[in-house]
Amino acid sequence: MLELINPDGLSTPASYTHLIAATGSRLVFVAGQVADDAQGNIVGPGDLAAKVTNRSWSARTLQLAARVVIASDAVPSSSVSGA
């Protein structure tokens, strides 16, 4: 069983879901983390610090929504994609 989660406070994308949680072992997959606000507007154009702050806030929002993910368990996308 998969639970699709788009937490309050983040934009609701049309083409993907922010979190997918698989029941049983409770695997959580995170997607599409970009610097946008809850309405989908770009945050801090040309301002890296604003983008990083937004991403940190988004990551915490996702962790709370997933109810199980903690920073030490998160796998960076670069280790999955090889980027």
Residue partners of 34: CB distance under 8 A and separation at least 6 = none
Query: Which SS3 state, helix, strand or coil, does residue 64 take?
Result: helix
Integer Cα distance of 77 and 17 in angstroms? 16
3 state DSSP class of 55: helix
pTM over 0.75: no
- How far apart CA 30 and CA 51 sit, in angstroms, is 18
Whole-number mean pLDDT of the chain?
75
Per-residue pLDDT tens digits for 28-77: 777 777 788 888 888 889 988 888 888 777 777 777 777 755 545 555 55
